[in-house]
Amino acid sequence: MTVGGIRLHVLVEGDGPVVVLCGGLAGNWFDWDDCACHLSSDHTVVRFDRPGFGLSEPSTEVPSVHGEAQRIIDVLDALEISEPTVAVGHSIAGFYVEGFARLFPDRAAGILLLDSSAEKNPKRIIPRDILLAASHTIATSFITTGLQRLLGTTTRRILNHSVPPDGPSDTMDDWVKRIYREPHYLEAALVEYVAYTDMALELNELRESEDQLLQDIPISVVAAHTGRNTPWSVGWMAKQQRLATYLGGRFHVLRPAHHHAMIDQPEELADLISRLTQSDR
């Protein structure tokens, strides 16, 4: 579909209360396949790839909380979905989904933040323009030398340790080999990463604005836990619990699960999402 002047890959499945699934940094639609399968029996499930990821065309825009929250609205409008929607944001998309609820409270039936990015006092050390220029240079060099094509799938394996309950998926592997080798994919990922600090600052400004307070909607913060207690995992659980307390939401832990918990625990996550669609506003 053409949304906001950009060709986006959009999937709509099922019928019932509407749920939008938003992937994390450089996320793709297929990461949600099993979770969407569980939800679509009694929900309308919407997935879309942000520009440069999945099967969506690239864009010169630098991501922002306002821009990605608006993109969620634009996708829903393009699908002629006007009813309040439960939005699910994984990792960095937690910024986008919280922004969606704050900027468009009448369109939000609830939000679920899955292993969400959370920054209390973000600080920009290196100017963004310098990092954006470096991102373009790195991406160009990796593409022209063939390193992206060579290392794309290896990078996926390094960054994503999650495995579907039924074992590795040949279909997902095929898509990974195709998508991670796309020339624009690496640059889109680097740009989104560079924009992280600015978006954390932007979200904190929204949180401080009396005009952008969260309305009385159900909120869930879900943390992924591998089942092994390490200093890092203990700290991460505490950070996620503080986020839930700050937002006035419920806190849940999925275990055993890695960061991409929608792959590890799709049925359990679908159940938590379903509970939000059944909550009273």
pLDDT in tens, 227-251: 999 999 999 999 999 999 999 999 9
pLDDT in tens, 174-223: 999 999 998 899 999 999 999 999 999 999 999 998 777 787 899 999 99
Residue 280 has pLDDT above 60, yes or no: no
For the chain, the farthest-separated pair of C-alpha atoms sits apart, in whole angstroms, at 55
DSSP for residue 175: H
**Structural domains in the chain plus CATH codes:** 2-121+196-277 (3.40.50.1820)
pLDDT of residue 169: 87
Query: Cis before residue 256, ω within 30 degrees of 0?
Result: yes
- Tell me the mean pLDDT in the region 151-160: 86
Residues found in the chain: 281
- The candidate with the shortest Cα–Cα distance to 88, out of 96, 79, 80, is 96
- Please classify residue 61 by burial: count the beta carbons closer than 10 Å to its beta carbon, then call 0-12 exposed, 13-18 middle and 19+ buried: middle
pLDDT of residue 281: 40
pLDDT of residue 153: 86
Query: At 157, is the pLDDT very low, low, confident or very high (cuts 50, 70, 90)?
Result: confident
Can you read off the two tokens belonging to residue 120?
């209390």
Cα–Cα distances in angstroms (integers) from residue 171 to residues 130, 143, 175, 210, 225, in the given order:
38, 25, 6, 46, 26
Query: At 168, is the pLDDT very low, low, confident or very high (cuts 50, 70, 90)?
Result: confident
Q: Which amino acid is at 91?
A: S
pLDDT of residue 56: 98
- Tell me the mean pLDDT in the region 55-66: 97
pLDDT in tens, 3-51: 999 999 999 999 999 999 999 999 999 999 999 999 999 999 999 999 9
**Cα(87)–Cα(99) distance, rounded to whole angstroms?**
11
CB atoms within 10 A of CB 92: 23
- The candidate with the shortest Cα–Cα distance to 115, out of 59, 150, 161, 46, is 161
Query: At 140, is the pLDDT very low, low, confident or very high (cuts 50, 70, 90)?
Result: very high
Judged by DSSP in three states, 97 sits in helix
**Cα(67)–Cα(61) distance, rounded to whole angstroms?**
9
- Tell me the mean pLDDT in the region 124-131: 92
Cα–Cα distances in angstroms (integers) from residue 221 to residues 21, 28, 160, 243, in the given order:
14, 21, 21, 7
DSSP for residue 55: T
Query: At 259, is the pLDDT very low, low, confident or very high (cuts 50, 70, 90)?
Result: very high
DSSP for residue 30: G
H-type alpha helices, 41-92: 65-78
Cα–Cα distances in angstroms (integers) from residue 234 to residues 104, 118, 165, 242, 275, in the given order:
34, 15, 25, 12, 26
